[in-house]
Amino acid sequence: MSAAATPSATTDESKTIDGFHLLLDALKLNDINTIYALPGIPITDLTRMAQAEGIRLIAFRHEQHAGNAAAAAGFLTQKPGVCMTVSAPGFLNGLTALANATTNCFPMILISGSSEREIVDLQQGDYEEMDQLAIAKPLCKAAFRVLHAEDIGVGIARAVRAAVSGRPGGVYLDLPAKLLAQTMEAEAGKRSLIKVVDPAPRQIPAPEAVKRAVELLKSAKKPLILLGKGAAYAQADAEVRALVEKSGIPYLPMSMAKGILPDTHPQCASAARSFVLPEADVVVLVGARLNWLLSHGKGKTWGGASSKTLGGQQFIQIDISPTEADSNVPIAAPLVGDVGSCVSALLAGMGSSWAKPPAEWTSAVADRKDKNLTKMAETLAKDPSPMNFHSALNVIRNKIKERPDAYLVNEGANTLDFARSIVDMYEPRKRLDVGTWGIMGIGMGFAVAAAVTTGKPVIAVEGDSAFGFSGMEVETICRYNLPVCVVVFNNNGVYKGTDKNPAGTDPAPTNFVKGARYEMMMQAFGGVGVLAKTPAELSKALDEAVASGKPTLINAIIDETAGTESGRITSLNPAAAKKK
Ligand code: ADP
Ligand code: TPW
């Protein structure tokens, strides 16, 4: 039955249901209880109705941050985070987040209103005209459009499955304005909705693949386990811990995998990273890609003679995507399946009398680690004035140690790189950061999502440039009274504050207004703003923020000469920039 065939004027309205409500019912039926949105035509009423229907509606000031919140919620909960935007410009603003979610394998659904199909397709110039489906397609895992009310249930079901099954990612769902106002008979409408059964089915690795992996691991003299954010996402924390502890193999967590096991675990090799990567002979990748963050699995980082040469390691790769293996270097033993199933199968295959790695290897790793940790402790004990990244991050480090349940959101260049190595994490999925793209602008969106989905304290450690990308969302944080403490590492610019323009009076491209009072931005909306010039001031303000749960922004003044251009990835700058 087509919706157009049953205009509400000719039916008893109590027996009809419209597209708005079908959509909300379909989301609720699939346990989606929060929407991150920015209202406007054609979704204003939809956002109101969502609230009326008991869905939590978090309204943002810019769609990118609503989208980032949906993506982070997806990562934290294994349910697709839902973002809703208006047509054309709102949709485009949300698209960066959708693409970033897809790149990072976070499940989210961007639902966008769109203009009249007839007018868009003939390019007759509608209000906010744009062929959104075509634009979204290359940037996400799947893209769908629903034209009839009776297909809304299928549309949501397809979107949910596409977002969370296999390798998770972003899904675009296009809803032309007309659809929302369509009506259909209520009972038929109810029957048209689908509750998705087993949206992310377990994927069990083949027995022969498990056997191959176990044999290879058995032959290793210098094995290493590398945990990526796919392992964090999988919520197979007990299995991963059992693999590490039963095997006795040193492990390295990628930044968002920190805390699956506490960073203080005796087998954690983070402080010996540059030693273990080139030295290891068999590496078990668990939900981690050999992309740029791991130097593509080859070159000097891995002990190769030149930037393109293999280091000689053999790899076991656990990944849910069957096409990930061999994307950079040969994978000797691919294990395709979900982390929980693959790690359980490995554990079973290893049996009960697994020999620990040779002591020569584990003690060499421990020696290197101890040496580096001693050096780090010396650096952290210093108290320079003004503060530098280390002394300020030492305060954050102490706070997370005391409150391991708090979330740490982190972006910037030096602020990111130093925090990753200085701030230990103790619990899984507590660290949210710039991920695979190194994207700036995730800060406030991720912080809102962490607070909304968990109610736990959130500490967002932000470079001053990084903060600027989403800074207006401090109003959102205040409006919903979220327990978020933003710490801006203020060094007067992008990377550093010291650049000079050699050819005029304009500021250099990386300069910001010196001595900016970021804390006043939070005060403007009724939150707490604090200026902190010393570790003691920072520590006091952070204690109060976490204890009170009040929206807080601490403007932490950092030495503008500290840090380096682009942080640890200076070498990725093209040659001309490096000469500076
Ligand atoms: P990192 O940046 O931490 O190294 P990546 O984002 O590069 O991590 O890699 C994550 C990998 O995890 C992706 O290749 C993705 O396919 C995989 N993955 C995501 N979820 C699961 C899961 N449940 N089980 C197995 N692999 C997963
Ligand atoms: C969407 C390029 C990488 S890091 C960074 C920029 C602009 C900011 C560094 O300065 P910040 O940090 O935050 O003050 P710090 O600790 O060094 O002082 N646009 C996007 N993404 C990226 N990655 C950039 C630009 C960039």
Q: Report whether residue 415 contacts ligand 2, using a CB cutoff of 6 Å.
A: yes
Alpha-carbon distance 557 to 560, whole Å?
A: 9
Instruction: Report the residue among 102, 289, 429 best suited for mutation to probe ligand 1: largest number of ligand atoms under 8 A from its CB.
Output: 289
Q: Residue 12: its pLDDT value, please?
A: 66
d(CA 410, CA 396): 11
- Residues having CB within 6 Å of any atom of ligand 1: 104-105, 167-168, 228-230, 233-234, 254, 256-257, 287-289, 291, 293, 319-321, 324, 338-339, 436
Structure tokens at 126: 């509608």
- Calpha distance 455→28 (Å, rounded): 21
The pLDDT confidence band at residue 307, using thresholds 50, 70 and 90, is confident
Rounded to the nearest angstrom, the distance between the alpha carbon of 167 and the centre of ligand 1 is 7
Digit-coded pLDDT (tens) for 35-65: 999 999 999 999 999 999 999 999 999 999 9
- pLDDT tens figures, 118-137: 999 999 999 999 999 999 99
The answer to whether 409 touches 483, Cβ cutoff 8 Å, is no
pLDDT tens digit sequence for 241-273: 999 999 999 999 999 999 999 999 999 999 999
- pLDDT above 90 for 212: yes
Report the DSSP beta bridge partners of residue 483. none
Per-residue pLDDT at 361 exceeds 70: yes
For the cut 80, the answer to whether the pLDDT of residue 485 exceeds it is: yes
Has residue 580 got a pLDDT over 70?
no
Distance 292 CA to ligand 1 centre (A): 14
Tell me what pLDDT residue 9 has: 45
The encoded tokens of residue 287 equal 């939900």
Confidence band, pLDDT 50/70/90 cuts, at residue 578: low
pLDDT of residue 179: 97
**Contact assessment for residue 557 and residue 517, using Cβ atoms and an 8 Å cutoff:** no
**pLDDT category of residue 8 using cuts at 50, 70 and 90:** very low
* Model confidence pLDDT, tens digit, residues 424-454: 999 999 999 999 999 999 999 999 999 999 9
- For residue 574, pLDDT beyond 90: no
pTM, rounded to two decimals = 0.96
Average pLDDT in the chain = 96
| Mutation to probe ligand 2, out of 393, 417, 440, 510 (largest number of atoms < 8 A from CB) | 440
The total of other beta-carbon atoms located within 10 Å of residue 117's CB is 18
Which of 75, 102, 233 most suits a substitution to test ligand 1, by most atoms within 8 Å of the C-beta?
A: 233
Least Cα distance to 425 among 450, 446, 455, 397 occurs for 397
